[in-house]
Structure 1
Amino acid sequence: MIQVLILYASSTGNTEEIADLIEKYLDPTVCETTMENIEMGDMDPQRLLQYDGILFGTYTYDDGDLPFETDIFCDTLRTVDLTGKVVGVFGSGDTAYDEFCAAVDLMKAEFKQQNARVIQHSVKVDLSPDEEDLQSIKKLAEEFQDLTTNSAATRKAGNF
């Protein structure tokens, strides 16, 4: 069983809704999931090392900015090496702004800086997820589960 952390920041509940949907698309016979909302600076990034994979969600604040709690998390994230960890990123934003869901791209870059294996596909939802977003959410969950399962099997075989 692979250990999965779904970690997210949500102000209006939109990003939390995406996190819940992703969890529903993960196979519970394969993934043991822990879901956590980032509170103001209370996430110790060393805890990320306990998991085989991380699904990280954030909303985009204003015109492309990281929200306060995600920005604080980034500062501490830079202290941990995530080599071998699979990471998928998702988030919500508002297309009324020029920099739609820019925080998702910023977080992908942050996780790559920490040597994580970041999934290319990410989920960007305009406000709240609708029927069209479900395919993208399902795709992220499936790719994440496949990559994480393969990475965990390789580590257990001693080849990683």
Structure 2
Amino acid sequence: MLTANIVYATMTGNNEEIADIVCDSLRKQGVQVKEMEISQTDVNDFKDADILVVCAYTYDEGALPEEGIDFYEDLQETDLSGKIYGVAGSGDKFYGEYYNTTVDHFDDAFKQAGATSGAEKVKIDLEPYEEDIEKLDQFAHDLVKTVQQK
């Protein structure tokens, strides 16, 4: 059975909702999922799963979530070769060039850790609506497909 670990950072609840949607979609595909808040998670927990997902917000002008900085730094120094990952996040288009940059930072951190992207990054403006839920379902489907093709 495939396993997935989903880690989220949220202030408004939007990224927890995104993580919940991805979690539900993966479970419908028969994946065993663990969902955790980022400050309560050790990067080494990622070594035990087939699929790794981070859902995090971007604070102010491009800043990582304060509670996720240790996780982010540890992620860059962890060997996740052979692991499949995906990154999604909620942001606010009000911030223009800084919109959802945390998604890009975590994508880069996974690459630095040697993991392989299994799905296109998903950036959502504020809370997820119907079209966003469809994107997240596709995201989860792509992650599973990538692992199965490995």
How much does 1:30 deviate? 2.5
Cα distance in 2 for residues equivalent to 1:29 and 1:89: 19
Q: Which residue of 1 aligns with 2:38?
A: 38
Q: Which residue of 2 aligns with 1:156?
A: none
Q: 1:8 to 1:34 in 2, by over 3 A?
A: same
Provide the TM-score with structure 2 as the length reference.
Answer: 0.92
Can you list the C-alpha shifts for 1:30-81, whole angstroms capped at 9, x where unaligned? Answer: 3000110112xx4221221111111111001002111112222111113310
How much does 1:149 deviate? 2.8
Provide the TM-score with structure 1 as the length reference.
Answer: 0.87
1:142 and 2:141 are equivalent in the alignment: yes
The structure having more radius of gyration, on CA atoms, is 1
Q: Alpha carbon RMSD of aligned pairs, Å? A: 1.4
Q: Which residue of 1 aligns with 2:64?
A: 66
* Percent of pairs with identical residues: 35
How much does 1:28 deviate? 4.1
Can you list the C-alpha shifts for 1:62-114, whole angstroms capped at 9, x where unaligned? Answer: 02111112222111113310000000000010010021101001110010001
Would the aligned equivalents of 2:43 and 2:74 in 1 still touch at CA under 8 Å?
A: yes
Letter in 2 for 1:23: C
Which structure is higher in helix share?
2
1:117 and 2:116 are equivalent in the alignment: yes
Equivalent residues in 2 for 1:62-141, closer than 5 Å: 62-98=60-96, 99-141=98-140
Would the aligned equivalents of 2:27 and 2:33 in 1 still touch at CA under 8 Å?
A: no
Of residues 85-94 and 63-72 in structure 1, the stretch that sits farther from structure 2 once superposed is: 63-72
Gaps of 5+ in 2: none
Letter in 1 for 2:144: Q
| Structure 1 stretches of at least 4 aligned residues deviating more than 3 Å after TM superposition | none
Gaps of 5+ in 1: 152-160
Of residues 79-88 and 115-124 in structure 1, the stretch that sits farther from structure 2 once superposed is: 115-124
Cα distance in 1 for residues equivalent to 2:52 and 2:118: 11
Q: Which residue of 2 aligns with 1:11?
A: 11
Cα distance in 2 for residues equivalent to 1:21 and 1:3: 16
Cα distance in 2 for residues equivalent to 1:3 and 1:72: 24
